[in-house]
Each structure stands twice: as C-alpha cells, then as structure tokens.
Structure 1
Amino acid sequence: MVPLTLFLSLFCLLFGSHVLAGSSIWQPALVSRSNSSMLDKRYYYVTRDQSLTSQRPWPNRVIRYCFAKETTAAQKSTLKKFLKDARKIWISKGLDSNFRIEEVNDNVCTSEATEVLTVHYREGVLATTVGFPSSTIGGVGPQMFLSDSTEIGMLDVVGNFAHELGHAWGLYHEHQNPKFWAGVAGADGGEVFGPNNPGGWNCDNLKDYYTAANGGLRLQTGGGGFRDITIQQLCSNWQIAKNNGFSASEYLPMPGVGTPHSNGHGENDVDWQSIMIYPSGAGGNSNGQPTPENDNRDAILMKPDGSRIPINLAPSSLDIAALNTMYANVEGTKLDLLNSLTNFKKVYKTSQSGPSGGSGCL
C-alpha cells in the first residue's frame, strides 16, 4: 500500500486482489434525512458540516488527471480512449455534461499531486479513490488503477471504466449497504443479502476462498503479535477481511461509513440496475471463458428470487440522480462535502498480486 488510505474497490472481481494504500480507512459519518424518496435508497447525501468528513466533490465537477510516470505511450492512448468512452456512457444516460475529465501536464501532476487523480495501468486490477480527499498522508493524492482486460469485473472494458468513474465522482458499491445485510458483522437487519437471506452470501465461491481457508492468513493484533483467524471470521467481518487482503471485503457491509437515507431493508430497496452493484459472478471461480452474455462464474450474491444479478454496463437513473444531487451546489472551488466517501474505493479482484502493499482484484 502506498502511504494513503486507499480503500480499493476491487472491481477486478474476476480480479486479482484489492490494492490498499495507507494504514487506515477514513470512515466519515453520514447524516440521515427524513421524507426519503426512491432516489434516496441509491446514495448517501451531502452534508455541509465539514466536521463530519474529509471528503468532498471534485471542484467544478471536473476530475483533473494525469498518468503515472511508468505508463507507456501505448498504455496512455488506450486508457485515455476508454476513459473518454466511459464518460460518454454517463452523459448519454443523463449525467450533466459539466461532469468532465481533463488531463493535465506533467508539471501540474507534480506540483499539484494531492489535487490530481493519478491514473495507473495495472494488468488485472481496477481500483479508484472515492471522491476528492481534502487531506492526504505523505503527499499522495487520489489514485486510479485501470486494466483493459475483459476477464475481470463487468467483463467489458468500457463498463469497468464507467464503474471506476462512479467511484471517482463519489459513489459507493450498492451491495455493501449495511441496510441490505443480516447475519454478518456490520449488518443492519437487511432482508436481501447474508447467510440466511434469500440473496445469500456464497463466500466459498470466491476465487481466493480456499487459499484463505488453507493458507494461514494472520491478523496483526494491537500488541504487534499475530494470532490465527478463521475462515468464518474472514467471511463475516469486513474489517478482518480487508486487513488480510481477502476479497470478501469487496462484498461485506462496511460499518461506520454512514447511514443510508432510506430505511428500506428489502429487495425493492436495492437498485439492481446500478452500475455500482457487482454482478453475481464478480470475484467468483470461472467455469470456462465468461462473457457478458454468458457469465459462467460462480455466483457470490443473488437476487432474492434466485436469479443472477446482471452485468450492468451503464449507470442507472438512480446513479445519475445521485451524482446530479451530490454536486448540485458545487460552485467553482466552494465545495459541499460528500457524506458518502471513504478514502480509497475497492474494485473487483482476480487472483494476482496488486500494487505494492496490496493484493490484486477479486
């Protein structure tokens, strides 16, 4: 991990293993709102109270980015094309055209490193800092790791990049909302996901499950020693899974990051069309060559009716509403804080090594 709390959203959940940068994860408190509407179930709302979070939207709705120094000319060309295509998908679905991504030169990338998104090409890895952190550790700013592999995440390059842009602008994973979970640590009485809920929780279908179960992952204690941890703990506790590089951390509910505005706990409260929800096979063992039309990866989560969560290659109307609402009052550099951000979002994992200090995608 790089010395910044990078909480990677293992979107390479065909992945390799999530990449972390930093020693801790920022978990800003969120505020709830009464009179919730259909839109509320999809995203966390904005608070103007700067004491609640260090995260904020991007100034002027513009993500300024540059490429990491090790990126080759060919990789830059590939990444730039797919990033532009990914933004076009968001705009075509109704996102305000003022949401832009703009490349800056190397001088700006160096002099304003904490205020520019650094984009890395990393085979089999997808991970992005969520939102725009207003403070950094060690001078490291927001990061994005991208791959043009079609064997991870949504099994589609542009779809994967569009998911990552959602993180960069400030969206969490839909399926990690504690309101939808029960029977695991951090759950909030949900009726959708979990060991005894109809949507299930097939932790043993994760690609790295048997490695975790048989490989003696160790949890470092506060005293500096180590103790054995069980696969049951790894499959039921987001913090333990995250600390040990186990891909269950890309699914389990994240405690302490905030309260959804909707109090809904049921199937109809989930946005199944969201580009920010993992398809059932993300991170699961493959049975042949998976494609968007035939995702034969083992299912991790399901819909309550027993059908698979689809591969969504474009944002839903609620995804669009989330960003339009969160950025509604952003004027120039006068920013409203986002309640819905942690420092580094995860991507799906495959089963390869990720950037230093972390593990690849799911």
Structure 2
Amino acid sequence: MWKPSDALNQPPLAPGIQRPGAKAVVTLTARVRRGQRHPWPTNTRATDCCQTLRGTGSEDSGSSTPRLRDSSTVTPVTLSSWSPSPSFRGHFDVSCNMLAFSPCLVAILLAATGVEAGSRLWQPPIKHAKAAVAAGITVRDLSGVNNLYFNGTNVSSTQHGHQKRYFGLNTPSGSSDYPRLWPNGNIDACFDTATYTHNGVNGVSTRDILYDNLIAARELWRQAGLDDKGGSFQFNILADNDPGCARALRSTHLLIIYAGENIRKMSSTVGVIQPLGEPGGTGPSLYLGPSMTLTDILDIGMMNVVANYAHEMGHVWGLHHEHQNPKWWTTPFADTERDKIYFSEANFHCEDLADFADHMVRYSPTGPDAWKYTNERNSLCRKHAYAERSKFAGGINYLPMDSEGMIDGDKSEPDWDSIMLYPSNAGGRTVGGVKQNVITKPNGDLIQPNSKPSQQDVKGLKKMYGVKIDRGFIGNLGASTSKLFNKVKTIRKKDPDASCL
C-alpha cells in the first residue's frame, strides 16, 4: 500500500505523469448491488490516481484493483471495466491531480505515515461537468413541500472568511409534532414503481432512471464530511419488494418519484411530514409521508443533476433554503427590525420572478385602482404566509419563513457556499433571452450556484441531529498541542520561506 512518506523516495516525474496516490485516493461508497437493505459499505480505495472515474455503483464484477467493494458479500467491481448507465454519463466525474510538495507538506507527510491513502486528507474534490446554459423554471408542487426553483449559469463556489450558519428543523424525531427530524438522520428510501418512456426506451423504471445520480449525490455529502460511519445519516435505498416500502408503512420511509421525461419539477418534503391520507385509502401515496420528486433535466437548478439531487437531500434531512432564514431579512419582510441586513427591497426584485406577472394580471399598476396593485404586490412579495395561500411559487421559495426553523444565533452572515442557497437568477423571468436576477448580495454581487454541500451545511445537520462534530485530521493540525503543528513550526524556524500556516 502506498504511504505518504513514499513520496520522498520517488524519482522525478515526466511531464504530464501523475504519481499514483500522491494527492488523494478517491473514495467511493456506492451500493454495488441495488436494492439491498443493509448499511452503506465501508470506504474502499482506488489507488490509481491517473484514472478518471465517472460515477458510483455497478453490478459488473471483476477481480483486479482498483475496485468498489460492498461491506457484505458483493463481488468486487473493476473500475476500469465499469461503464455508467446512459442517463448517468456527463453528470458526475471524479478526477485526481498531483500535489506540489512544499517543505510544510513534507512534514505533514512524514508525520502522517499511519494515515491510510484513503483518508479524507488525501482526497481530491469531486468535480462536475457543466451543462450548457438554457432557460427553464421548475414547476412547484404546492402540496406543502419545498422545491428547487431556480436556474444557474455556471457552477462555482467562492470562499468567505466570515462566520456562517445553517437553517433547518428543530423538532426531534421522537416528537409527536410535524415536521420533524429522522431518527438519527437515517432514511429508508423506496422508489415509486411507475415506469416511463426515457431516452426513447419504454418501460424504464424510476429506479433505473434516478439511482446512479442519487448515489452520487449522497457521495457529495460524504465528501463534504457527512459520512455514516457512526450509524447516523444512512441513506438506505430499499428493494421495490422490501416490506419497509409497504403502503401501510408509508409514513416511515421516503418515496422517490420521477417527475417524467422533460418535466421541470423537483420538490422534497422537509424532514418527516405529517401524513395527509390514510394507508388504506385510495389517495396518492405521495400524501402519506415524506417524498422527493426529481427530474434528470440538465438545464435547471445548478445545471447539474447530481448537485440538484444533493440540494433535495438537504431538504429531506431537514434543511430549509439558506436565503429564507428570517435572520437575514428585516421589516417589512420579517417581524424584527435588524441593524445588519442582507436581503431587502434593495436587492430582492420580486417583480422579476417568473410567475409574478401571472399573479398580478387582474390588477393595474396605473389608474384609480392602482392602490389595489400596490397592496397585492406588497402582500405577495413580503409575506411568506400570504404567498403560500396565493400559491405564488416565487414568494414561497424566496421569502423568509417563520420561526419553525432552527437558527444558530452565534453566526452573523449567510453561508454563500451553501448547497441550499439559490443563485441570483433562480426562478427569474426571461427578458430578451436574458434571465433576470431576482436576488443579489448586499453589495450587488451575484450569488453563484454551488455545486456541492458546504462545510456549514454538514455542520448544521450534525448539530440538528446531535451528532458530534469531529474536527478531523485537518482540523487538529492547527492545534498548538499537535505534534504535527510543532513539527511544521520547527521547519519554519529553519526555513522562513516554508510557509503553509
């Protein structure tokens, strides 16, 4: 097995050649055999960092490494021979790059010889292929669920040095109130058994259409630090005939639904919702418990299917939209007047929401009844409850929510990197072929789409579910009592140019 210290004993690399394992060992944790009801498999390692992997999960088998391995009895899978399903190609890729070894990094490598190459320290970020920019607005399901309602133009993430936070449910799983959290964040998920015409093929199951991208979305959360090693945050996809998927148990599992080919609709219940029907009745199973409706269209949301699904997973675990935290708004949007304002009339342009004009068609902004237009506009664009009663999707998905969410009062600024944050032109109307910006940062800068969960998204979920937040190997490096810290400090004294602290 390659060890970090081996990097010091390697001959020079030819141009364009990468050292296997030198930067990061790609960790993939997919269920190789679909539909089995067992915990997620333990991490295994692909030791050839020159190979680019596309996705996770397969039913092919082989005998050589690198490989994906199930934690129970599934035959290892040879990555070099694995081919993703057609619906999965172009949505997700993992790539590796060679590290440049500074003296500081060498000190860390020497001190970390006990860390396996599959450690989070050596893993590269997951990268996503960008889809072509295209117009498209999701249709909101107004049955009390939250929804991904936006269009992005690119996928990027900007780092900020300010304090950040999260916004989500605070009702524990053992409560009789709804909506509430899942037990330990563990979700049993079942696919709707309907079939569809998909990519010219009739009778394609929901499972076959959505499975690969869902597994990749869960891996995004894992890469951000939300693993399930401690028995929490397991996302278990059950077999279609699993007893846990029975209608009578509908309130205890997540139902995953395909919106249909070329239908722009993504919506998820936030946490565990109250069943609105009877298990023995004839009503839609959708209303009997938590649900997630997904599309595989590329030109909506983050312009990336996997990132969109990761956003929806955040809702299912209990996160609300970051921009809907009332802490970032002031009167007349929120009930409290605040000194520090992030969203207001100055940078939230309600009239540019795609469905605003449809809701205002009966009112005239001029003439003797112009006051009616003004009153309706102010109610629709300022109060979440009124927007919900009016089925105004733009307001439902943008306006600050009430106090049902959990707010971390120690933080002072929105998490601009959150997967739960809308980019500026989300849900905006199109004028002259240009998507209008609905919301910006206070200084007028655009809010860019985020392609992966942020560290604060993960920290928020762990705090909501009472899971210990582990600083991890990287976090402990900065501690003054850390042996690695002292070793690096010694090197810096000897060589002032060696700077990485």
Q: Same fold (TM over 0.5)?
A: yes
Deviation of 1:54 after TM superposition, in Å, equals 2.9
Distance in 2, matches of 1:62 and 1:51, equals 16
SS in 2 for 1:322: helix
1:117 counterpart (254, 258, 262): 254
Deviation of 1:288 after TM superposition, in Å, equals 8.0
Q: Give the alignment of 1:195-206 within 5 angstroms.
A: 195-196=345-346, 200-206=347-353
Q: Give the alignment of 1:1-362 within 5 angstroms.
A: 14-21=136-143, 38=163, 41-44=165-168, 46=170, 53-72=177-196, 73-98=204-229, 99-104=233-238, 105-106=240-241, 107-110=243-246, 111-122=248-259, 123-133=263-273, 135-139=274-278, 140-190=288-338, 191-196=341-346, 200-215=347-362, 230-246=376-392, 247-258=394-405, 260-262=407-409, 269-286=413-430, 297-328=435-466
1:187–1:195 Cα change, 3 Å: farther
More divergent stretch after superposition (247-256 vs 99-108): 99-108
Unaligned stretches of 5+ in structure 2?
1-134, 146-161, 197-203, 279-287, 364-371, 469-501
Q: Is the 8 A contact 2:193 2:205 kept in 1?
A: no
Q: Counterpart amino acid of 1:277?
A: L
Query: Quick one: percent identity of the two aligned structures?
Result: 32
Unaligned stretches of 5+ in structure 1?
1-12, 24-36, 217-226, 290-295, 331-362
Q: Is the 8 A contact 1:205 1:284 kept in 2?
A: yes
**Can you list the C-alpha shifts for 1:293-312, whole angstroms capped at 9, x where unaligned?**
xxx52111101121111100
1:48–1:276 Cα change, 3 Å: closer
User: Which of 1 and 2 has greater Rg?
Assistant: 2
Deviation of 1:149 after TM superposition, in Å, equals 1.3
More divergent stretch after superposition (58-67 vs 153-162): 58-67
Q: Is the 8 A contact 1:65 1:118 kept in 2?
A: yes
Q: Counterpart amino acid of 2:420?
A: M
Q: Is the 8 A contact 1:64 1:101 kept in 2?
A: yes
1:271–1:92 Cα change, 3 Å: same
Q: Which has the higher contact order (CA 8 A, sep 6+)?
A: 1
Q: Is the 8 A contact 1:14 1:284 kept in 2?
A: no
Distance in 2, matches of 1:80 and 1:49, equals 27
1:195–1:52 Cα change, 3 Å: farther
Q: Is the 8 A contact 2:173 2:180 kept in 1?
A: no
1:130–1:309 Cα change, 3 Å: same
1:21–1:327 Cα change, 3 Å: same
More divergent stretch after superposition (229-238 vs 82-91): 229-238
Deviation of 1:45 after TM superposition, in Å, equals 7.3
1:240–1:45 Cα change, 3 Å: closer
RMSD: 3.0
**Can you list the C-alpha shifts for 1:177-197, whole angstroms capped at 9, x where unaligned?**
11111243435334110114x
Distance in 2, matches of 1:87 and 1:183, equals 38
Query: How many residues matched?
Result: 281
SS in 2 for 1:64: strand
Give the structure-1-normalised TM-score: 0.69
Q: Counterpart amino acid of 1:43?
A: F
Distance in 2, matches of 1:52 and 1:108, equals 21
